[in-house]
């Protein structure tokens, strides 16, 4: 199991390195202007989507390469989400790189992190995630892995269910999420959502 996961990291890493070098360099000032259409949802602390109800993810200080990857997945329909598909569809590679550079540059800001799940149980289970996301979810190894620390708990739950159900197509994460029970998912989300030095709402 361990060797298999490691293999995936090595193989995945090699592909991603190629993708990453092909990406346009982002300009954070241009990205800030382009982010105007996004602030109505991603710039408001505690904003939730209407149905199903969960918090819109925090993007501030998220890893730039991951933001670009996520936007391309919504654009291509590999992540099934009509609103984000519509938002990503008209973005060019340069737009995505600029937006990613801007959101990655957001400084830490105060926000409350109310936690519902079992943080202690989640901390133990998070060993399985540490190789890529870091034990505390700060994703220290590569900018292609998302930070989970400080992310909304209910959004993390929703994302894990989406990988499990195939609503998000990602070979690594569907492999990781499929064996998780509902309780594992809520425990893991509680642990990562409660950690510091992660992501924040996008505000200057």
Q: How long a stretch of residues is the chain?
A: 204
Q: Determine if 158 is a binding residue for ligand HEC (CB under 6 A).
A: yes
Q: Extract the tokens encoding 67.
A: 């933001």
Q: Extract the tokens encoding 196.
A: 């510091």
CA angle, residues 187, 190, 198, in degrees to nearest 5: 135
- Tell which residue, 128, 139, 114, has the closest CA to residue 185: 128
Task: Please state, as a whole number, how many other Cβ atoms lie within 10 Å of the Cβ of residue 150.
Answer: 24
Q: Determine if 75 is a binding residue for ligand HEC (CB under 6 A).
A: no
Binding to ligand HEC (CB under 6 A) within 118-147 occurs at 128-129, 131-133, 145-146
Q: Determine if 188 is a binding residue for ligand HEC (CB under 6 A).
A: yes
Please name the residue that has the structure tokens 């982002």: 26
Q: Determine if 26 is a binding residue for ligand HEC (CB under 6 A).
A: no
Binding ligand HEC by CB under 6 A: which of 60, 61, 64, 69? 69
CA distance 150 to 138: 9
* Contact criterion met (CB below 8 Å) for 74 and 88: yes
Stretch that binds ligand HEC, among 18-26, 52-60, 105-113 (CB under 6 A): 52-60
Q: Determine if 49 is a binding residue for ligand HEC (CB under 6 A).
A: yes
- Tell which residue, 38, 200, 27, 43, has the closest CA to residue 97: 27
Q: Determine if 168 is a binding residue for ligand HEC (CB under 6 A).
A: yes
Q: Determine if 70 is a binding residue for ligand HEC (CB under 6 A).
A: yes
Q: Determine if 9 is a binding residue for ligand HEC (CB under 6 A).
A: yes
Cis peptide before 87 (omega within 30 of 0): no
Q: Determine if 152 is a binding residue for ligand HEC (CB under 6 A).
A: no
Cβ distance to ligand HEC smaller for residue 109 or 124: 124
Report residue 128 CA to chain centroid gap. 17
CA distance 93 to 22: 10
In whole angstroms, the minimum distance from the beta carbon of 156 to ligand HEC comes to 5
What residue ranges bind ligand HEC (CB under 6 A)?
5, 8-9, 37-38, 40-42, 49, 56-57, 59, 67, 69-71, 73, 79, 81, 83-84, 87, 99, 128-129, 131-133, 145-146, 148, 151, 156, 158-160, 168, 170, 172-173, 176, 188
């Amino acid at each position: 199991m361990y060797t298999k996961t490691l293999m995936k990291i090595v193989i995945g890493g090699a592909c991603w390195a190629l993708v990453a070098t092909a990406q346009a360099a982002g300009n954070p000032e241009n990205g800030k202007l382009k982010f105007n259409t996004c602030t109505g949802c991603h710039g408001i602390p505690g904003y939730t989507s209407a149905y199903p109800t969960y918090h819109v993810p925090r993007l501030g200080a998220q890893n730039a390469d991951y933001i670009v990857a996520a936007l391309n997945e919504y654009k291509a329909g590999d992540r099934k989400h009509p609103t984000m598909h519509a938002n990503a569809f008209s973005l060019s590679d340069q737009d995505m790189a600029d937006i990613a550079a801007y959101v990655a540059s957001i400084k830490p800001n105060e926000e409350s992190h109310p936690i519902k799940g079992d943080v202690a149980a989640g901390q133990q289970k998070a060993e399985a995630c540490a190789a890529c996301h870091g034990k505390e979810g700060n994703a220290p190894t590569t900018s292609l892995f998302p930070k989970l620390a400080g992310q909304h708990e209910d959004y993390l739950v929703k994302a894990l269910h989406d990988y499990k159900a195939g609503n998000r197509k990602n070979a690594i994460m569907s492999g990781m999420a499929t064996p998780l029970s509902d309780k594992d998912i809520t425990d893991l989300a509680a642990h990562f959502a409660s950690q510091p030095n992660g992501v924040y709402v996008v505000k200057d």
